[in-house]
Structure 1
């Protein structure tokens, strides 16, 4: 399918998902292209009217060169690209690269980059072709010019660029829009997996119904906690089942509150993503006279740094790291509960808690906040921790999936060993687990099987990412 873009309002999280995860292309309406053309003409008129004044990256240099007036030869060199592709390392997933293109086009369509319709359409056409590799590492610049330099390095050789257009390719914060959107979509889908895993463990531990009573939601007073309690009740509903009447461990009783914090972190990331997609900005940025009272202006600014996106990504990583730690406590609870795991053999599944310990500790290590750096060089005296935040959140997510695979395997084994059935709502999930890790009646090496289950859970998560249901508003959460 093809996404039709008429104005900047069409750049939202659901459209991002369709393009990045669903592989859809986009086209611009004639009205949209006419407006882009009008903004370009207004920009050129404004530039001509202020020819004697320094305009960053247009008649003066970029970065530390902003003190230097460009001569005719240097201006021509700028039109041929700024050659900022100096990073290297493991590449970003293609979905993220597609998302960067989408967010880049947002500032083209809203006029803040003041580029031509020809460049706008050229960038959109990249979505129909093999994309360049963009490193996810080595991106320690002040903004996003290194990864964007890789993404758009070929454009100046493919299309004749006008004043400011080479700067508009590598400035602003489209990477922030893509990375926080990617984090939000993946995390929302991951929540649906971990709810099943924790609920299955609660069923294996025969947790009292009272720990998830609906009255707790109004007592605690947070809507997200009421949602987490409700979800656990839905998954564990079995009126005919007699559950324990003694209090469960702390880890079980705080599950709804820790899970609710993840709901809130994901909702915050979705909110940040919705803003970041539409506002990648540019430097310099063009403000049309039609947008506010007064003459049109060309403003040097900090659009290349989206700090809200960084904090939102960190927030998701922190919430998922906490759930990784909590799952470790659940694994210990199952291992030590002789009614849940009778006659547990330490040399078979019992050793899984050792593997779980490593996954939980690695998640903890990656949960450090992405604080701004010490001073760097010259005008670029603050490096951007955006990509480091995304990489950390990505790794925490992998650790949590690994823990969910171990926890689900132990819960499955508990139900098998005690000859109990799970609830109707969890039966499908239990089937998926047992298709991958069959119940253990004799000792065997099961690490390969649990690893395969982790891959299955990742596939379930990614399948949800390609579905429109993966997007919710903060109010829905």
Structure 2
């Protein structure tokens, strides 16, 4: 997807993933622009008739009973952006900001917000010119919308706030003075349309979800490599066992593991061994990772609905001429989905840590202690496992739900909030931790497979092994390991490799 015309109603996770990785040009689809103009006409008619409508000619939140004179409507919108830009802490990553703008454009393009087309076009201009607002990561409770983050995102439209441009931080006014872009004047409802919505919470969850889909696939591959290394049986992955459980995710994971173990000389070599059963972290991979896949599918449905949802307030219905106040800005679906994905990914890390423990335990794996020759003088993977235990433990704390932590705001007018941004931020930390856990298991499993040579693993296991060895050499004696541990970033940015194992996993 080199270019994307947004219409407000057809975004999918696949389209957004493609956009993030290609950074193509964005535009608004023609019919969407007509809907935006029709809703804008309703807003202007309301003002001209002297009607009082929340968010158009009133104050906000607890101040919604204050009527604003016609000559102060522009100041109302300007003050809204300035006063609500109360974000704190370090900025979020650029990809999150890109997602926020992209989703906000799509949200406004549905034509129910009543904002001017100029607002949407300016967002498009900033995105296409790669002028990215600096958005502090904390300060939103996820209702009434992601007010503070979206206010920071919107300040550059009026020539205020800070931005990242060509990898350098600028004051927006500096770019304006250089003629790189021109600010706009906000009209009635423009500011409220910009900051009232769930785009920050959605962006956090979407980023995590995209990465989670890669991580569960890699976890399946890595588990297959570990199965080879410790001489586990492939019987628990047989199709007839999964059919009796009836769980979709479990069936899918078992199929993937079977495909990864296909043609394994290692598995074939111990078909008639005396071992009766393997530890649960090997035997129950389909049941555990299958539940993770089911959770991911649930979260994806929630997120894709939110991509094309209108989360503004009030809403403008141009067909009937009505302007209705509701609560679509409340991010509870995203908060719960973020908490669910946090739990699922914590389990990915938990079961991976257990397999690493088994790989390094000579009494379980039958491999040299801590996967190193001459153990004693060498410690091998001993402390690499300790690192995974640390990360898995941290994830257990982070996976406690944020969505149940309500704190009323705005003088109790906004008396129940979602805490979706908090849920999304801790979810992203879990994602980072699980990346490292899976990579350490991959390193350990490859090391174990080296001890099984000259026998080769299955087609997937060997593919994973070769990828590891292209990044990290065999550990023949102790060396500084943090250099090896950092290589996970190269693995996860190799989209061609991820596509290859995905195709292999799904093959019949």
**Does TM-score exceed 0.5, indicating one fold?**
yes
Partner of 1:145: 147
Equivalent residue of 1:368, what SS? coil
Task: Give me the whole-angstrom Cα distance separating, in 2, the residues matched to 1:388 and 1:434.
Answer: 38
Match of 2:300 among 266, 270, 277: 270
Per the TM alignment, residue 470 of structure 1 is displaced from its structure 2 partner at its CA by 8.8
- Report what 1:457 is aligned to: 491
Give the direction of change, closer, same or farther, for the CA distance of 1:461–1:260 in structure 2 (3 Å limit): farther
1:56 counterpart SS class: coil
Instruction: Work out the CA distance in 2 between the residues paired with 1:352 and 1:12.
Output: 38
Over 3 Å counting, the alpha-carbon distance change for 1:470 and 1:433 in structure 2 is: closer
Query: How far, CA to CA, are the matches of 1:16 and 1:62 in structure 2?
Result: 32
**Distance change >3 Å, CA 428–CA 65, structure 1 → 2:** same
Residue of structure 2 equivalent to 1:385: 419
* Deviation at residue 267 of structure 1 after TM alignment: 1.1
| Residues in 2 aligned to 1:416 and 1:468: alpha-carbon distance in whole angstroms | 23
Moved more, 21-30 or 199-208: 21-30
Confirm or deny: 8 A CA contact 1:115 1:168 kept in the other structure: yes
Q: Which residue does 1:374 correspond to in 2?
A: 407
State the match for 1:156 in structure 2: 158
Q: 1:468 to 1:242 in 2, by over 3 A?
A: closer
1:355–1:32 CA distance, 2 compared to 1 (3 A): closer
CA distance in 2, matches of 1:30, 1:442: 64
Contact 2:42–2:316 (Cα < 8 Å) also in 1? no
Instruction: Please name the residue that 1:292 is paired with.
Output: none
Structure 2 residue aligned with 1:255, among 285, 303, 311? Answer: 285
TM-aligned CA deviation for residue 170 of structure 1: 0.7
Number of residue pairs matched by the alignment? 461
How far is the alpha carbon of 1:235 from its aligned partner? 0.6
Contact 1:224 1:263 in 2 (8 A): yes
Larger mean CA deviation between 269-278 and 157-166 belongs to 157-166
Deviation for aligned residue 1:148: 0.6
What does residue range 177-216 of structure 1 map to in structure 2 within 5 Å? 177-216=202-241
| Counterpart in the other structure of 1:8 | 8
Shift of 1:372: 3.4
TM-score (norm 1): 0.90
| Partner secondary structure for residue 4 of structure 2 | strand
Question: Shift in Å at residue 30 of structure 1?
Answer: 3.7
Deviation sequence 1:43-64 (CA, Å, 0-9, x none): 3234545x34x31122210112
CA distance in 2, matches of 1:436, 1:93: 26
Task: State the shift of 1:430 in Å.
Answer: 0.6
Shift of 1:399: 1.4
What corresponds to 1:279 in structure 2? 309
| Displacement over 4 Å in runs of 4+ | 46-49, 461-464, 467-471
Match of 2:134 in 1: 133
Counterpart for residue 174 of structure 2: none
How far apart in 2 are the matches of 1:47 and 1:308? 34
Do the aligned partners of residues 393 and 366 (structure 1) sit closer, same or farther apart at CA in structure 2, a change above 3 Å counting?
same
1:438 aligns with 2:468: no
What residue ranges of structure 2 are gaps of 5+ in the alignment? 160-182
Cα pair 1:14 1:468 within 8 Å, conserved = no
Cα offsets for 1:22-70 (capped at 9, x unmatched): 2112123444323322221133234545x34x31122210112112122
Which of 143-152 and 439-448 deviates more? 439-448
Query: Could you tell me whether the CA contact under 8 Å between 2:28 and 2:109 is conserved in 1?
Result: no
- Judged with a 3 Å threshold, the aligned counterparts in structure 2 of structure 1 residues 145 and 239 are, in CA distance, closer, same or farther, namely closer
Q: Tell me if 1:218 matches 2:252.
A: no
The residue number in structure 2 matching 1:340 is 366
More off after superposition, 378-387 vs 195-204 = 378-387
State the match for 2:54 in structure 1: 56
Q: CA RMSD in A?
A: 2.5
Aligned pairs for 1:409-420 within 5 A: 409-419=443-453, 420=455
3-state SS in 1 of match to 2:258: helix
Q: CA deviation at 1:469?
A: 11
Task: Tell me if structure 1 keeps the 8 A contact 2:57–2:67.
Answer: yes
Matches within 5 A, 1:298-447: 298-338=323-363, 339-344=365-370, 345=375, 347-370=379-402, 371-378=404-411, 379-419=413-453, 420-447=455-482
In 2, distance between residues paired with 1:252 and 1:184? 25
The answer (yes or no) to whether the contact 1:112–1:286 under 8 Å persists in 2 is yes
Quick one: structure 1 residues 382 and 118, their matched pair in 2 at CA, closer, same or farther if it must change by over 3 Å? Answer: same
Aligned to 1:69: 67
- Kindly state the Cα deviation for residue 461 of structure 1 after the two structures are TM-superposed: 6.5
Describe the shift of the 1:141–1:316 C-alpha distance in structure 2 as closer, same or farther (beyond 3 A): closer
Measure how far apart 1:226 and its partner are: 0.7
**What's the CA shift string for 1:394-418, capped at 9, x where partnerless?**
1111211111122122212222234
Cα deviation for residue 382 of structure 1 reads: 3.4
Contact 1:372 1:382 in 2 (8 A): no
Separation in structure 1 between the aligned mates of residue 200 and residue 107 of structure 2, nearest angstrom: 13
Secondary structure of 1:391's aligned partner: helix
Which residue does 2:175 correspond to in 1?
none
SS at match of 2:493: helix
Residue range with higher mean Cα deviation, 357-366 or 106-115:
106-115
User: Structure 1 pair 160/442, CA: closer, same or farther in 2 (3 Å)?
Assistant: closer
CA distance in 1, matches of 2:441, 2:29: 50
